[in-house]
């Protein structure tokens, strides 16, 4: 999964021949999972049509402050456009457009939107060789950088004038790669390694039957994805589930039984900076596993169970600098039981779920949790989606590491 997945990208297009490449750029952004809107200068429409870009982006294209041909038209709100975006990419950025960005000469909707934007702005210059080398252009580069903008270096090659040299707008694929690398390098958890467990465990009775539970694994998968999106290297140890995850920062380790999960967690815990035990691990397993399928001969069946190894407690015993987070699913005496687990298992934080809360528990898209830290300070949260709860948990790790 690209780091651009889910991002809202505003693409600003100014009037240079390289504008024809923006159709490909929009397609690449969409393929990366981003949401795209386009704002154009009037001159850029001589090189590529708004119809093409609106079709590719699946959003209306803004190229003027209002539609002159429609006397009842509502103005195109450049402020809303600027605030909508997570990223503003201006490509191509001509010498004229960059000069206006520096001076604040807001005579078109692209510049007005730029002046309203609160998000990171990337500029991909495109112009002829002599223009690119001119002192005024170099001054624009320096001032744009001083204003906090990021310049995507132009490339060398054949130019529209017939000259050969610097000034070509970076190819769409290279713009995409530049954005991904730049964003990844600034992510707060970059360089951190996080272990996450998810899903149920299945404890075999015989070759075809097992003891399990109703955990879907969604909470753990959402946590893993949230951590990866913040730049962490994630090892996700997952029990049996229908879920999948696609992110370059996530290593998925599939296990079945509690013994499998125990082994996988101990293999990866030593190198982790934090561990989040969201899996619903079986507390008991059959003491003897039948080698053949048990026949239905008797009216009842007696199974002798034994305790499984407590994965979370075992990690608490060996932890050094790791930030260790556990989950507690309770039905009675919730707070007291959760606090007892913090002490017993040497946790830094516990995430308490109560089955008495509507919207919480297995198989739901929402969760209602209470955070309790090692000082027994309680922080009850409102009902949220599991994705939001996952982000809240990752924010606790970020706060711990002051990032």
Bridge pairing between strands 87-93 and 121-125: parallel
State residue 356's pLDDT score: 65
- Kindly state which CATH superfamily the domain 8-185 is placed in: Flavin prenyltransferase-like (3.40.50.1950)
Kindly report the three-state secondary structure assignment for every residue of the chain: CCCCCCCEEEEEECCCHHHHHHHHHHHHHHHCCCEEEEEECHHHHHCCCHHHHHHHHCCCEECCCCCCCCCCCCCCCHHHHHHHCCEEEEEEECHHHHHHHHHCCCCCHHHHHHHHCCCCEEEEECCCHHHHHCHHHHHHHHHHHHCCCEECCCEEEECCCCCEEEEECCCHHHHHHHHHHHHHHCCCCCCCEEEEEECECCEECCCCCEECCCCCCHHHHHHHHHHHHCCCEEEEEECCCCCCCCCCCEEEEECCCHHHHHHHHHHHHCCCCEEEECCECCCEEECCCCCCCCCCCCCCCCCCEEECCCHHHHHHHHCCCCEEEEEEEECCCHHHHHHHHHHHHCCCEEEEEECCCCCCCCCCCEECEEEEECCCCEEECCCEEHHHHHHHHHHHHHHHCCC
Domain boundaries, the chain: 8-185, 193-400
Determine the distance from the C-alpha atom of residue 199 to the mean position of all C-alpha atoms in its chain, rounded to a whole number: 20
Give me the tens of pLDDT residue by residue for the chain, a chain 403 residues long. Answer: 788 988 999 999 999 999 999 999 999 999 999 999 999 999 999 999 999 999 999 999 988 766 655 555 556 677 788 889 999 999 999 999 999 999 999 889 999 999 999 999 999 999 988 888 899 999 999 999 999 999 999 988 877 777 787 889 999 999 999 999 999 888 999 999 999 999 999 999 999 999 999 899 999 999 999 999 999 999 999 999 999 998 889 999 999 999 999 999 999 999 999 999 999 999 999 999 999 998 887 788 888 999 999 999 999 999 999 999 999 887 788 899 999 999 999 999 999 987 666 665 666 778 889 999 999 999 999 999 999 999 999 999 999 999 8
Contact 123, 93 (CB under 8 A): yes
Helix axes 95-103, 135-146, angle to 10 degrees: 50
Domain 8-185 shares a fold with domain 193-400: yes
- Measured between alpha carbons, how far is residue 2 from residues 5, 7, 204 in Å? 5, 10, 38
Catalytic: which of 213, 337, 346, 373?
A: 213
* Architecture (CATH level 2) of domain 193-400: 3-Layer(aba) Sandwich (3.40)
213 in catalytic set: yes
Contact 393, 276 (CB under 8 A): yes
- Measured between alpha carbons, how far is residue 143 from residues 104, 111, 112, 149, 355 in Å? 12, 15, 18, 9, 57
* Non-local CB neighbours of 294 within 8 Å, separated by 6+ positions: 205, 206, 209, 301
């Amino acid at each position: 999964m690209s780091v651009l997945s889910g991002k809202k990208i505003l693409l600003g297009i100014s009037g240079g021949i390289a504008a024809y490449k923006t159709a490909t750029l929009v397609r690449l952004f969409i393929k990366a999972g981003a949401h795209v809107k386009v704002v154009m200068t009037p001159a850029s429409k001589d090189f590529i049509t708004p119809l093409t870009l609106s079709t590719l982006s699946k959003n209306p294209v803004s190229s003027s402050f209002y539609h002159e041909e429609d006397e009842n038209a509502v103005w195109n709100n450049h402020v809303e456009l600027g605030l909508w975006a997570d990223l503003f990419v201006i490509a191509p950025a001509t010498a004229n457009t960059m000069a206006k960005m520096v001076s604040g000469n807001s005579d078109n909707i692209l510049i007005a939107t730029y002046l309203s934007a609160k998000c990171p702005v990337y500029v991909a210059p495109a112009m002829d060789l002599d223009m690119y080398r001119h002192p005024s252009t170099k001054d624009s580069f320096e001032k744009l950088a001083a204003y906090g903008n990021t310049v995507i270096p132009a490339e060398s090659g054949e130019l529209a004038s017939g000259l050969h040299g610097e000034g070509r707008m970076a190819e769409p694929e290279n713009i995409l790669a530049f954005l991904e690398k730049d964003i990844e390098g600034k992510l707060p958890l970059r360089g951190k390694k996080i272990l996450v467990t998810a899903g149920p465990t299945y404890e075999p009775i015989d070759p075809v039957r097992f003891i399990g539970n109703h955990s879907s694994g969604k909470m753990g998968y959402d946590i893993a994805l949230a951590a990866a999106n913040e730049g962490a290297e994630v090892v996700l140890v997952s029990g049996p589930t229908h879920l999948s995850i696609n992110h370059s920062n996530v290593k998925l380790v599939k296990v079945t039984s509690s013994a499998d999960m125990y082994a996988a967690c101990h293999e990866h815990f030593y190198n982790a900076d934090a561990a989040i035990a969201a899996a619903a691990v079986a507390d008991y397993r059959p003491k003897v596993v039948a080698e053949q399928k048990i026949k239905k001969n008797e009216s009842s069946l007696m199974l002798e169970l034994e305790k499984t190894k407590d994965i979370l407690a075992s990690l608490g015993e060996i932890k050094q600098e790791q930030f260790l987070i556990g989950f507690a699913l309770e039905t009675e005496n919730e707070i007291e039981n959760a606090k007892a687990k913090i002490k017993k298992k040497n946790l830094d934080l516990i995430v308490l779920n109560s089955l008495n809360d509507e919207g919480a528990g297995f198989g739901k898209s929402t969760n209602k949790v209470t955070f309790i830290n090692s000082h027994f300070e309680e922080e009850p949260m409102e009902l949220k989606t599991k994705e939001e709860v996952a982000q809240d948990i990752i924010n606790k790790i970020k706060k711990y590491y002051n990032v």
